[in-house]
């Protein structure tokens, strides 16, 4: 690798070249049976992915967004309900809530893990909601809407603190649907059950995305719902296929949200490598942590609590003057991204919810300081060294310029 060779943010080519022959076999077998939607390959993948997650049921669907929407509807979320999530997530989380007919609302994140702060969920339910005597329903005081579900997101492949969230949710009779779209294979130590549990096996149901860039990615769009609830899994099966269990017997209005046979076959093949890929991601994360350890005062590395084993879908650092650091890396041919630059409560799409800047200060502050560095199983140590060298170069000039204002970061180039 030459010194200023480009380091991409994501490398999706290398793993597919390595698996090319295996993946072509899937395609060939699909051509020869012409089972393109549903079928045996879907059934087999569902069984293996359920086992991988440590649940009884997995239902393959068209995308992670479908998975979230179907899980919410099947779990009983009704039109007009409020469903709570976090402002620091991909918009698909809240789109799915709206598509289920509900209205998203937010609680703040924890500054260390960037995931839902269970104490903020508790505070929301205790101070902004009340129980309506006649119905026993939990209603939001301001909107009068029933609050019925919560969607914690395991963002960046880091687990949300599920024991605490489940506790609070149970006290207030909320359904918990995990957004595990970035967390295939992540684990959480449940103190209550005294054992490690997989992402997607903890709430009432969970949604996974197999968008190509996810830790387990299809060669196109795909997703899945996981659950231990047989009725919920049956409902998702109907919802993904026009509300039918038997052909042309439509019990409800459903959707076209099925999983392709070819994608299922590809996912099943790749699933065999996922443990190894996740191990490599964890190794890269450790490398970054060690290489950045001299800069802990100025560069915040990801926090992995003792109760979590993250799978580093993204490796996210936090720095002052993030935009300048990103530009500095770009000059050195190093790609980086921001997940996510604008918290959802400040997105134009959600002006209707009536939030303003200052409503979620932790989400807003972190959004201006986070930067995702390149992270993928084929990332090499010398690439990581070069990336960190550039980060250190930037922060050292930054701290020098605090004493010598004339020495601006631009002088680095
Ligand atoms: C990718 C993603 C989704 C949506 O998945 P799609 O397959 O793109 O529909 C939902 N939530 C989060 C956190 C995601 O990262």
Average pLDDT over residues 107-128: 98
Ligand 1: residue of 85, 89, 209 to mutate (most ligand atoms within 8 A of CB) is 209
Across the chain, which distance is largest between two alpha carbons, in Å?
A: 75
Is 258 in the same domain as 156? yes
Is 341 in the same domain as 265? no
Which atom of ligand 1 sits closest to the CA of residue 154?
13
Q: Is 379:11 a contact under the CB 8 Å cutoff?
A: yes
Query: Domain containing 87 — which CATH number?
Result: 3.40.640.10
Helix axes 381-403, 261-291, angle to 10 degrees: 50
Q: Which domain holds residue 181?
A: 13-270
Confidence of residue 1 (pLDDT cuts 50, 70, 90): very low
Whole-number pLDDT of residue 167: 98
Spatial CB neighbours of 156, under 8 Å, sequence gap ≥ 6: 114, 182, 302, 310, 312, 313, 314, 315, 316, 339, 372
Whole-number pLDDT of residue 334: 98
Question: pLDDT, tens digit, for every residue of 197-252?
Answer: 999 999 999 999 999 999 999 999 999 999 999 999 999 999 999 999 999 999 99
- Give domain status of residue 3, yes or no: no
Ligand 1: residue of 181, 186, 339 to mutate (most ligand atoms within 8 A of CB) is 181
- Give domain status of residue 330, yes or no: yes
- Give domain status of residue 8, yes or no: no
Pick the last residue of a domain from 270, 300, 334: 270
Give the predicted TM-score (pTM) of the model: 0.96
Which atom of ligand 1 sits closest to the CA of residue 209?
7
* CA of 92 relative to ligand 1 center, distance in Å: 6
Bridge partners of residue 61, in order along the sequence: 223, 258
**Number of structural domains found in the chain:** 2
360 lines ligand 1 (CB under 6 A): no
Query: Domain containing 318 — which CATH number?
Result: 3.90.1150.10
Is 64 in the same domain as 107? yes
Is 264 in the same domain as 288? no
| % pLDDT > 70, the chain | 96
Whole-number pLDDT of residue 400: 78
- Give domain status of residue 386, yes or no: yes
Is 187 in the same domain as 280? no
Is 336 in the same domain as 391? yes
For the chain, what percentages of helix, strand and coil (3-state, to nearest 5) are there?
40, 20, 40
Residue 335: pLDDT over 80: yes
Which atom of ligand 1 sits closest to the CA of residue 65?
9
- Give domain status of residue 138, yes or no: yes
Instruction: Kindly calculate the radius of gyration of the chain based on its CA atoms and give it in whole angstroms.
Output: 22
Question: pLDDT, tens digit, for every residue of 144-199?
Answer: 999 999 999 999 999 999 999 999 999 999 999 999 999 999 999 999 999 999 99
Per the structure block, which two tokens stand in for 176?
Answer: 């918990």
Confidence of residue 401 (pLDDT cuts 50, 70, 90): confident
* Ligand 1 atom 5 nearest Cα: 64
d(CA 57, CA 67): 13
* CA of 207 relative to ligand 1 center, distance in Å: 9
Bridge partners of residue 138, in order along the sequence: 131
φ and ψ at residue 341, rounded to 5 degrees: -70, -30
Residue 412: pLDDT over 80: no
Pick the last residue of a domain from 236, 270, 304: 270
Whole-number pLDDT of residue 275: 98
Pick the last residue of a domain from 270, 300, 321: 270
- Give domain status of residue 257, yes or no: yes
Spatial CB neighbours of 335, under 8 Å, sequence gap ≥ 6: 6, 7, 8, 9, 329, 374
* CA of 91 relative to ligand 1 center, distance in Å: 8
Closest CA relative to residue 304, chosen from 124, 121, 161, 120: 161
93 lines ligand 1 (CB under 6 A): yes
Running DSSP on this structure, what letter comes out for residue 155? G
Query: Reduced to 3 states, what is the DSSP secondary structure of residue 159?
Result: coil
d(CA 333, CA 322): 17
Whole-number pLDDT of residue 411: 46
299 lines ligand 1 (CB under 6 A): no
Whole-number pLDDT of residue 397: 85
Confidence of residue 38 (pLDDT cuts 50, 70, 90): confident
Which atom of ligand 1 sits closest to the CA of residue 223?
7
* CA of 288 relative to ligand 1 center, distance in Å: 25
* CA of 340 relative to ligand 1 center, distance in Å: 13
Confidence of residue 91 (pLDDT cuts 50, 70, 90): very high
Is 209 in the same domain as 93? yes
Spatial CB neighbours of 116, under 8 Å, sequence gap ≥ 6: 85, 86, 107, 109, 110, 150, 152, 153, 160, 161, 165
Is 187 in the same domain as 326? no
Is 246 in the same domain as 368? no
* Ligand 1 atom 10 nearest Cα: 92
d(CA 85, CA 93): 8
Q: Is 239:254 a contact under the CB 8 Å cutoff?
A: yes
Say how many C-beta atoms besides its own lie within 10 A of residue 229's C-beta: 16
């Amino acid at each position: 690798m030459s010194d200023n060779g480009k380091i991409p943010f994501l490398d999706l080519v290398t793993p597919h070249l390595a698996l090319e022959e295996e993946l072509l076999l899937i395609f060939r077998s699909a051509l020869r049976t012409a089972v393109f939607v549903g079928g045996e390959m879907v059934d087999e993948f569902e069984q293996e992915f359920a086992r991988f997650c440590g649940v009884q049921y997995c239902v393959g669907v068209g995308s992670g967004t479908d998975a979230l929407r179907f899980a919410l509807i099947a779990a009983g979320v009704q039109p007009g309900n409020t469903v709570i999530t976090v402002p620091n997530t991909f918009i698909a989380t809240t789109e799915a809530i709206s598509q289920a007919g509900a209205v998203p609302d937010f609680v703040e994140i924890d500054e260390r893990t960037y995931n839902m702060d269970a104490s903020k969920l508790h505070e929301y339910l205790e101070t902004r909601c009340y129980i309506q005597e006649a119905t026993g329903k939990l209603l939001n005081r301001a909107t009068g809407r029933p609050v019925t579900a919560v969607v914690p997101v395991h963002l960046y492949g880091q687990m949300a603190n599920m024991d605490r969230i489940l506790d609070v949710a149970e006290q207030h009779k909320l359904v918990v649907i995990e957004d595990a779209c970035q967390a295939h294979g992540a684990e959480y130590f449940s103190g209550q059950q005294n054992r490690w549990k997989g992402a997607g096996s903890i709430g009432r149901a969970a949604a996974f995305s197999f968008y190509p860039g996810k830790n387990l990615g299809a060669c196109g769009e795909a997703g899945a719902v996981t659950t231990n609830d047989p009725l919920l899994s049956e409902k998702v099966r109907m919802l993904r296929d026009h509300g039918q269990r038997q052909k042309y017997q439509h019990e409800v209005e459903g959707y076209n949200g099925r999983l392709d046979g070819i994608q299922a076959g590809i996912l099943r093949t790749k699933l065999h490598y996922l443990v190894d890929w996740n191990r490599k991601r964890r190794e890269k994360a450790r490398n970054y942590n060690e290489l950045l350890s001299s800069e802990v005062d100025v560069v915040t590395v990801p926090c992995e609590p003792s109760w979590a084993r993250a799978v580093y879908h993204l490796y996210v650092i936090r720095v002052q003057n993030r935009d300048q650091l990103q530009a500095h890396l770009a000059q050195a041919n190093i790609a980086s991204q921001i997940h996510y630059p604008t918290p959802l409560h400040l997105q134009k799409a959600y002006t209707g919810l009536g939030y303003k800047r200052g409503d979620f200060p932790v989400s807003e502050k972190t959004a201006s300081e986070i930067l995702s560095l390149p992270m993928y199983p084929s990332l090499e140590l010398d690439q990581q060294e070069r990336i960190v060298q550039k980060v250190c170069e930037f922060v050292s000039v930054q701290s020098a310029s605090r004493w010598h204002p004339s020495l601006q970061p631009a002088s680095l180039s």
